[in-house]
Amino acid sequence: MTGLILENVEKHYGSACAVKDVNLHLPEGKLVCFLGPSGCGKTTLLRMIAGLETLTGGEIRLDGEDIGHTPAHQRNFGMVFQSLALFPHMTVGENIAYPLKLRGVSKADQQARVVELLQLIQLQEMIDRPVSKLSGGQRQRVAIARAIASRPKILLLDEPLSALDAKLRESMQVEIRQLQQRLNITTIMVTHDQREAMTMADIVVVLGEHRVQQVGTPIEIYRHPANEFVADFIGSGNIFPATALGNGKVGLPGGDALQVPICSSIVVGEKVKMLIRPEDLQLSHPQATAGNRLLGKVTFVRDIGATIETTVECSGVSFTALSTPCQGFGLSIGNPVSVTLPAEACRVLGA
Amino acid sequence: MSTLIKKRHSLLPGDTGKFAGVLSGFILLLAVLPILTMIVMSFSGASNLDFPPSSYSLQWYKAAWNTFVSPDSSDVLSLGKAMTTSLMVACLTMVFATIIAVPAAYALTRCEFRGKAVAMQLMSLPLVFPMVVLGLALLLVFDSLPFHMTTSRLVIAHVILALPFVVKNCTAAMLSIGTEVEEAAQMLGASPTRAIVDVVVPLMKSGILAGMLLAFIVSFNEFTVTYFLYTIDVMTVPIWMYSRTVSSLDPTVFSFAVLIVLIDFVLIWALEKLVGEGGVSF
Amino acid sequence: MEHQPLIQSVSAAEPRAKRGVSPTVRAWLFLTPSMLFLGVLIAASLLVLRMSVGTKGAEWTGFSLASYAQLLEPYYLKSLLLTLRLALISAVVAVLLAIPVAYTMSRLTSPFVRRIFLAAVLLPLLVNLLLQSYGWLVILGPGGMLNQALMGLGLIKRPVMLLYNQNGVLMGLVQTAFPLAVLPIASAMRGVARTYEEAAATLGASRLQVFRQIVLPMSLPGIITGATLVFAYNASSFVVPLLLGGRRVPMLAVMVHDQIAPLMNWPAASAAGVVLIVTTLAIMTLSEYFTGRRRRRMEASQ
C-alpha cells in the first residue's frame, strides 16, 4: 500500500501523554493539514513522522516499509520549521544547495538545481544574499525551496506561516498550495488556524485532547463534524443541548420542539448536543413560534462591516446568527425577532 | 513672557538613573584602583612608594628594558624563560580547555540526561575550590609519581582552573544557537555529527574563541596553584615577579605589571567584541 | 475520507536493532574529558583527606587524628574563626557594592559603555593577584593614597595602619572577589524583564520602590549565588592575606602553606585543607538548597 501509514501511533513523555491512538493513511500527492489547538499533539506527531521524536508505540510505514527506526537524516523528507531555521552563516544559494551537497551532487548540478528552485520561488537575484537580509516572506520561500531541493517524498510544514502578518499569510497560503499542486508532492502541514486548513488542505486531520477527532475534506468536516469538539473548533457554531423526542423531533431547554433530520441511533429521551451554523439561521420580523421558527429577543449585535452578527435568546438557548448588511433590518438590543432553524441545517453531534 | 518650559528628559521605568550610574562608576573605579595605582606608579620618577609620585619619568620602563637586554645572563635568562613558559602553558591550557569544554557544553545544553544538574554544579567547582588545597594535592600526587612532569602539571592545574570559564562561555554560545538549525540540517540529510560540524560549530566560532581567550588569561595570570607547583626551571611570569620582590618591592615590577595588565585588557576587550556580556556569566 | 480500518501488519521483517546509544550514555561520553579533569579535584580532596589522618613520617600508612586535634588548639581555632569572619564580611560588602553595578550593567544600552563596564568588572578577577596586592600596598601604606586622602580631609591626624592587619586584607578580599558577585547578580537582574518595572510604575511605585520591591526580590537567587561565590572564594584566599596581612592575618589557606613550607607537616596541612573543603562545600550546598527551593516556588506560581 503506498502513501504514509500511521498505525496505533502514540507518544508519552514519562507519564504524560502527548498523543495516542493515531491511525492514519495519507495518500500520495495530497496536502494534509494537522489541525488543532495548541498542546493537542499535532507538532509531536509531525516530528515523529520526521524522525525528530521517537515513537512510544505503534508504527509508521512509508510505501509498506517501517521507517520508525530510520534516523531523521535518512528519511529524505523535506521539513520547514516554525522558525524556518535558515542557516545564518550561509547565503541563500548555499542554504538551498546544502541538501544537494550532502548527497554528493556535482557542483554544476547543484548550481543548476538552485537556479531552478530560485526561479520557482521568484527570487533569482537573491542567490548570493545572506539570509539575514531577506524579508519574512522571502525567507519563507527560501525555506521551502531548501526543503524540496532534494526532491523529497514528503514535505512537512510546522506552522510555517505563524510568524507572518495577516496579509502576507493569506498570499503565502495560496502560493504554498499552488506550489504543492504543481509539484504534486505529498505535504503535511501543522496549523492551529482553521481558516488556513480550510483554504489549503485536501484532507484535514482534526486533533484534540491528544487524539485524532476526525479526518475528512474541509467541507466534510465543516458540514458534518463528528463530535462537539470538532464542531466547536471548526468555524463558529451554535452548539446547544436538546432532548430527543422521537420522530426527528428534539426538545429545546425552553420547551419548544425542533424538526431535525432523523437519526436512527438516538433513543427517545436521550440528551444530545445540536449544531447549527450561524449563516444557516434566518432572522425575520417577530412572529409567533411555529415549526422551526422560534420567537426570541436580541441580546447583542456586532456589526463588523462585511457581516452582522446578531445574538438572539430564544427557548432558553443563545443563538448567534450571521447575516450580510443587505439581509439585515436594523436590529438593536432588546428587539424581539424570529429565528428560523432550517431542519436540514441542524446537526446532531456525535451521532 | 515665553511660556516655553524646557521639558526635563524624564526617566522611564527600567532606565538606569543618574544616581545608580554615578554610584556604579565610582564603585568600579574602586574595583580597578589597585591596577590604576600600579599604572601610575610605573611612571614615577622617585624611588620610593609614595603616592602620588613626586615626579614622573620612564625610568622604571628603562630599567625593565635593561633587564630584558642586560648582559646579566641570570636575569635575562630567567625572565625570558619565565615568559616562554608562561606563554606555552597558557597556549596549551587554551587548547586543551577548549577541546574538552566544547563537547561538555554540547552535552549540557542539548542532552537531557540523569545527573545533569550535578554535572552543571561540578563545572563551577574549580572556581571555589580552595586553590591551596589543589596545589597541595597536586604536589602530593606529582611528587609521588616516578617520573617528572614539570610543565604538564602546570597545564593540568590551569586547565582545571580555566574550565568553568570556558564551559560557561560555550554553553551560552550554544544556547543562543537553538536546536532548530541542527534539526533542519538533519532533515536535509546531515547525520547528527555532520549537523554539528556544518552548522553548530561555525555559528559558535566567536563563543569558542572567547572561551579560548578566557582560558589564556586565566592561565597567564594564575599565581596561587602555580606557586605550589613551580620548580627552579619551570617558572611562570607571575612567579618570576614574586621572586624578584620577595626581599624588597622593586618598582621595576610595576612596569612589567603594566605590560601584563595591558595584555589582559586587550584580551578582555577582544573577548567582549566576540561575545558581549552573555558569554561571561556564572 | 474516513480513516480506514486497521491494517494488520503481517510483514515478516525482523525487528531492527535499537538505534544508537541511550542519550544518557552519549551525554556522559561527551562529558568524560571534563569529568576527568574535575575528577582530579575530587581525587585531590580524597588524597588530602587521607593525608590528614596520617602521621608525620608515616604519611600514607599511619593513622591518627592528631592533626585534627591540633586544629582545635586556640591558634588554629582563631585562624578558622578569622577566616570565616573575613569571608562573611567580604561577601556581604562585595554583594552590597555589586548590586548597583549589576543593576546598571543589566540596563545599559550603549554597547561601548557595556564593554567598558565588563572590562572593569572582569579585571580584578583575572589580573594577577600579586600585581593587585602590590597596588594595594601602595594605596594602603602609611604614605599611601588612602591615608593622604583621609588626612587631607581632616578625618585623621596621623596615618592609620591599614596594612598588615585585617582591614587591609578585607579591602583586598572585597576588591578581588567583587566580579564574582557582580556577574551572577547582573545575570539575574537581566532576567527581570523590564515589563515588570513598567507594570510596577503604572501601579504607582517610585523608582526606589520598584527597585527594592520588585527588582531586588526577583534577583535574589543571583544575589545568593554571588554571596556564596565570594564567600567560598575568599575563605580559601591565599595571596591577599599573605601579601597584605603579613604574618598578622593567618587565614586558613596561609596556615596550610605554612605547614608545608617550612614545617613539612603534610598531615597538619591536609587537615587544615580538609576543613577548607568542607566549609566550601557546606556553603555551596546550603546556597543551592535555598536558591533551588525558591526557584521551584517561583516556577510553581507561574
For residues A121-144, b (16+ Cβ closer than 10 Å) or e, as one string? bebeebbeeebeebeebbbbbbbb
Would you call A78 and B190 a contact, using CB atoms and an 8 Å cutoff?
Answer: no
Partners of residue C17 in chain A, C-beta under 8 Å: 69
Neighbours of chain A (3+ CB pairs under 8 A): B, C
Q: What share of chain B is helix, strand, coil (3-state, %, to 5)?
A: 75, 0, 25
Fold adopted by A4-230: Rossmann fold (3.40.50)
List, run by run, the mean pLDDT of 10-residue segments along chain A (351 residues). Answer: 86 89 92 91 92 90 88 89 88 92 91 93 90 89 92 92 86 91 93 90 92 92 88 85 84 84 79 88 86 89 88 88 82 88 85 56
Residue B166 lies in a domain: yes
The three-point CA angle C75-C78-C84 to 5° equals 145
What Å distances lie between residue C194 and C200, C205, C216, CA to CA? 10, 14, 13
Say how far residue C153 (Cα) sits from the centre of its chain.
36
Select from A9, A69, A74 the residue whose CB has the most chain C CBs within 10 Å, as the one to mutate to test that interface: A69
- What is the CATH classification number for the domain harbouring B217? 1.10.3720.10
d(CA C234, CA C84): 9
Of B257, B268, B281, the CB nearest to C123: B268
Q: Domains of chain C: which residue ranges?
A: 59-300
Q: Cα separation of A285 and A261, whole Å?
A: 26
Sort strands A186-191 and A31-35 into parallel, antiparallel or unpaired.
parallel
B53/B46 Cα distance (integer angstroms): 6
Low-confidence winner among B63-72, B236-245, C17-26 (lowest mean pLDDT): C17-26
pLDDT at C8: 30
The torsion of the CA quartet A188, A191, A197, A199, rounded to 10 degrees, works out to: -100
CA dihedral C170→C172→C174→C180, nearest 10 degrees, is -140
As a whole number of angstroms, the distance between CA B278 and CA B272 comes to 10
How far is Cα B166 from Cα C31, in angstroms, rounded to an integer? 14
Q: Return the residue matching grid coordinates 549540557.
A: B108
**What pTM, to 2 d.p., does this model score?**
0.74
Distance CA(A65)–CA(A196), nearest Å, equals 32
B161-214 pLDDT, tens digit per residue, is 899 888 888 888 888 787 888 899 999 999 888 888 888 888 888 778 888 888
Interface test with C, best of A6, A25, A45 (most C CBs within 10 A): A25
- Residue in the structure block whose three cell numbers are 526580590: C217
For residue B103, being part of any structural domain is answered with: yes
Judge contact between C268 and C70, C-beta under 8 A.
Answer: yes
Does a structural domain hold residue B63?
A: yes
Structural domain contains residue B22: no
Could you give the number of structural domains in chain B? 1
Beta strands A308-314 and A293-303, pairing class: antiparallel
A205: nearest Cα among A9, A36, A20: A36
Domain-by-domain residue ranges, chain A?
4-230, 236-348
Judge whether C158 is closer than 8 Å to chain A, CB to CB.
Answer: no
C-alpha distances out from residue B115 to B107, B160, B235, Å: 11, 20, 39
Share of chain B above pLDDT 90, in %: 6
Q: Is the peptide bond before B34 cis (omega within 30 degrees of 0)?
A: no
CB-CB neighbours of C273 under 10 Å = 32
CATH 1.10.3720.10 is held by the domain C59-300: yes
Nearest-CA neighbor of A208 among A20, A11, A9?
Answer: A20
Position B3 pLDDT exceeds 80 = no
Cis peptide bond prior to C262, omega within 30° of 0: yes
The tens digit of pLDDT for each residue in A249-298 reads: 888 888 888 888 877 777 888 888 888 899 898 888 888 888 888 888 99
Looking at beta carbons, which residues of chain C come within 8 Å of B140? 47-48, 51, 266
pLDDT in tens, C127-148: 878 788 888 888 887 777 777 7
Tell me which residue in B181, B189, B195 faces A99 most closely, judged by beta carbons: B189
pLDDT at A154: 93
Provide the pLDDT confidence category of residue B1 given band limits of 50, 70 and 90. Answer: very low
Which of B96, B98, B128 should one mutate to test binding to chain C, selecting the residue with the greatest count of C CBs within 10 A? B128
Whether residue B269 lies inside any domain: the answer is: yes
Whole domain around residue B247: which residue ranges? 59-279
The per-residue pLDDT of chain B, averaged, comes to 77
- Cβ distance B187 to A52 less than 8 Å, yes or no, reads yes
A306 burial level (CB within 10 Å; 0-12, 13-18, 19+): exposed
Phi, psi of A316 (to 5 degrees): 80, 5
Q: Are A145 and A175 in contact (CB under 8 A)?
A: no
Quick check: A238 and A279 in contact, CB under 8 A? no
In CATH, what number does A236-348 get? Answer: 2.40.50.100
CB contact under 8 A, A71 and B192: yes
Segments of chain C with pLDDT less than 50: 1-19
Statement: residue B33 has pLDDT above 80: yes
**Angle subtended by helix axes B150-177 and C23-52, to nearest 10:** 140
- Cβ(C114)–Cβ(B237) under 8 Å? no
Measure B48 CA to nearest chain A CA, in Å.
57
